Structure 1
Amino acid sequence: MKTYIILVAGYEYHHGRTNMATICKRRANVLLDQNSSWQNNSNIKFVLFDVRFGRIDEGTPNGTGIDWETHSEEYDAINDSVHYSSERHFIQQDTNVISIADAYDFIRNIGKNNLGHVYEFSVVGHGWRGGPVLVNSYQREAYQHTGVTPRLRDPWDKDGRRKDTNTTNMNFTDWVDFINAFNTDTRIWIWGCAASRLYKKVIQEVYNSAEFSRKRYGSHIDTDSFSLTFSRAFAEEHFSYDPLFFYRSRTTGDITNRRFTRTLREIKDFLIRGLCHTYSGQMAYNTKTNVYAALPGTGADYEKTGRSDKRVMVVPTNTSVYGYSFAAIVRFYKTYLNLQEDPERRGYAKFDPEMIKIWKGR
């Protein structure tokens, strides 16, 4: 039986020179280092979906590294003049460019045909809290949350969506096949950003409040209250995302009250709703698999330290290295929501399926 590592390399659509497939291969090198028994083991299969070149490559350990060879070239390579608008949006059209759904299909085939199990499913590229961004595609109106088929994936869409694992997009048989490819060792890594200003700003307001500074860090209790202040521009753009927190109502939308107090319990519940509503939270909950991903309000960057052939991505927590840091945001989540950091200490968080289940049941 084979052990599969599924690596998906998104496209650097910002005209950058970064080759995500190279970073995926570095990830493969890291995993090979972590698992000494994989050396020279032909049952270990690295499978790389290279969106940029429309290619699937397979890698096999050779005792000193990994031998890579092309497995399939059935997809179309990215062509900027064909696939992108001047705003760098993936043009809404029917294309043969690799989709994240193609990686799901590959995983389902592993489970369906009892070929082995998936040790890691990694998606390297840009992202947001709604899912990994492979090409910066946008759903057509009918498939958006206000459309007539909001639960269905747009077949022209290439990026990851929270709804990917619901019953509309994976029927019972497909779902059983998908899950059968996983076991207790399986983990999922979503390497891109989740840099929503919504969550970052709320945490910053808590930090900046006079009430927070009056007590030792970590000693605050759920009934403690904090004064929060938001600009009109922020309110107009973000308050509607969580009316229960910003308005204390699911229906009222008055942004004139932009200075108010909230208890730590209310702030934690706001963050919990955000965590559960992420792609990573939904994927962890549905697959019952640990997912490692950036926390809402934090971003990811390309790793700048360590051996160059093993540099992947991190959530920056060291200003001297990256020029900026999300350490304070990560620390708040870890301290007040008891979230664990990823086992490689890269600044990502562990989306624990049992914790998500408890949160969803509140």
Structure 2
Amino acid sequence: MKQILLVAGVDFEFHGVDFRSLADNRRALLERKNTKHDDLRFITMDVRSGQVEVRDITFPSGKRTETVASTTPFTPVTQASYGTNAAGQVRLKPALYTVMSITDVYARVRDIGSKDPGTLVELSFFSHGWMGGPILANSNDDRLMTLMIPNPFGPATPMTVAVTGNARDPDDKDARGHLDFVAPTMDPPALKLFKDAFASDGYAWLWGCAFPKVIHHALWAMEQSKDYKSSGLGQDVVVHMPAVTADDVAYLEQILAPKLGTFPSRSSLAVQFKYLRWAFFVANQMSYAYVFTVMTGIEVRAAALGTYAEYDTAGDKLMNVYSGFTAHFNFYKNYLGMKFDPEGRRYAVYTSALTCPVP
């Protein structure tokens, strides 16, 4: 039986986005595409409701049969689950340990790897996103854990404890690529189970955004240069970039300074293309999508850095990457060798084979 794991995050701004509906729409689409009548198991993990639904669709004697089992093992997330920090940012409150976490998703994948290896064909995350991965609940990784100490004479007393090493912050529910695929979250045996779950052609799909504005603008400034071409540009060509901002220069400088030193100007830049190409590759190496594929060997479909996703207004009612990023798509395709998803939704395909020569 082929398995599809669909994860629905929380619209933490509560502006009307229902990621569970998008997950359900994905299930409906994949079933419509199942013209060979393969037996399918859809597992939906909904962070907002705390629900886990298992829906089996089978075809005994050629007749479609559907069974659904649903449990609510996690605490639902509501507007009351959020607070505003000192910087004015909305974040999930600490110590909500029974709210679903991405580590619970990983555990479900490993369970498949243990009991039904090679059957997971798709792991999809429908949520807001950033270059660091899916934002399931908009929680904090502040390296501090809040413990509630029972008090027999009154309310429990909070105590803050530092989180050290590669351990995840237990208050944190969201993806953290630099922590999630190493011990203690996944030691080598656990990582093997995670990998074993996937079919040979299985993949993960991150449907949210990956839009660091500085990367988008630095790409745009390069693409606006009179020296730049969307394909066939020589690696030693000096690209003059008068449209950069100080933030663009600072970002590129932190990657390129070990090779080129400090840039003399904050308002313009002139750099050989091979260095720009490599700098944007290094930026992608820092993304959750890249870390996921390198650590697991599993293909990951995700918005390329500097692009954002939007909601379908018709058709499948899923998500797609905004079509206005054509210049970015061409750079990634023609200079970094990226491919894009076969469904035409303009998501980049990250694989462990993605490389770029160091200049």
Length-normalised TM-score, structure 2: 0.85
Q: Tell me the residue number matched to 1:141.
A: 143
SS of the aligned residue for 1:184 comes to: strand
Q: Are residue 162 (structure 1) and residue 158 (structure 2) matched? A: no
Q: Tell me the residue number matched to 1:320.
A: none
Tell me the distance in 2 between the aligned counterparts of 1:3 and 1:292: 19
Tell me the distance in 1 between the aligned counterparts of 2:46 and 2:117: 22
Q: Are residue 58 (structure 1) and residue 54 (structure 2) matched? A: yes
Letter in 2 for 1:77: P
SS of the aligned residue for 1:105 comes to: helix
Higher strand share: 2
Quickly say closer, same or farther: Cα 1:134–1:166, change in 2 above 3 A: same
Quickly say closer, same or farther: Cα 1:219–1:253, change in 2 above 3 A: closer
After TM superposition, give the deviation of residue 79 of structure 1 in Å: 2.1
Q: Tell me the residue number matched to 2:188.
A: 172
Of 135, 141, 153, 2:168 maps to 153
Tell me the distance in 2 between the aligned counterparts of 1:257 and 1:299: 27
Q: Are residue 46 (structure 1) and residue 45 (structure 2) matched? A: no
Length-normalised TM-score, structure 1: 0.84
Quickly say closer, same or farther: Cα 1:220–1:11, change in 2 above 3 A: same
Tell me the distance in 2 between the aligned counterparts of 1:115 and 1:248: 44
After TM superposition, give the deviation of residue 71 of structure 1 in Å: 2.6
Letter in 1 for 2:5: I
Tell me the distance in 2 between the aligned counterparts of 1:65 and 1:205: 54
Identity among equivalent positions (%) equals 24
SS of the aligned residue for 1:222 comes to: coil
Q: Tell me the residue number matched to 2:95.
A: 93
Larger displacement relative to structure 2 (260-269 or 30-39): 30-39
Tell me the distance in 2 between the aligned counterparts of 1:47 and 1:10: 14
Q: How does 1:1-362 map to 2 (within 5 A)?
A: 2-38=1-37, 41=39, 44-61=40-57, 67=66, 69-85=68-84, 87-114=89-116, 117-141=119-143, 149=164, 151-163=166-178, 164-212=180-228, 217-229=230-242, 230-232=244-246, 234=247, 239=250, 243-245=254-256, 247-248=257-258, 257-306=266-315, 310-317=316-323, 325-355=324-354, 358-359=355-356
After TM superposition, give the deviation of residue 117 of structure 1 in Å: 1.8
Tell me the distance in 2 between the aligned counterparts of 1:168 and 1:140: 18
Tell me the distance in 1 between the aligned counterparts of 2:357 and 2:188: 22
Contact 2:230 2:331 in 1 (8 A): no
After TM superposition, give the deviation of residue 31 of structure 1 in Å: 1.6
Contact 1:195 1:296 in 2 (8 A): yes
Contact 1:92 1:140 in 2 (8 A): no
Letter in 2 for 1:354: A
After TM superposition, give the deviation of residue 105 of structure 1 in Å: 0.3
Letter in 1 for 2:235: D
**Deviation per residue, 1:252-297 (Å, 9 max, x gap):** 7778544221111111101111111110001111111111000000
**Deviation per residue, 1:134-177 (Å, 9 max, x gap):** 1111112359xxx8735321121111111211233201221121
Q: Tell me the residue number matched to 1:322.
A: none
Letter in 2 for 1:157: D
**Deviation per residue, 1:176-214 (Å, 9 max, x gap):** 2111112312111000000111221121111221222xx
Tell me the distance in 1 between the aligned counterparts of 2:176 and 2:309: 19
Two-structure CA RMSD over aligned residues (Å):
2.7
Gaps of at least 5 residues in structure 1 are: 318-324
Letter in 1 for 2:13: H
Aligned residue pair count: 335
Letter in 1 for 2:48: R
Larger of the two Rg values belongs to structure: 2
Q: Tell me the residue number matched to 1:321.
A: none
Letter in 2 for 1:139: D
Tell me the distance in 2 between the aligned counterparts of 1:332 and 1:304: 27
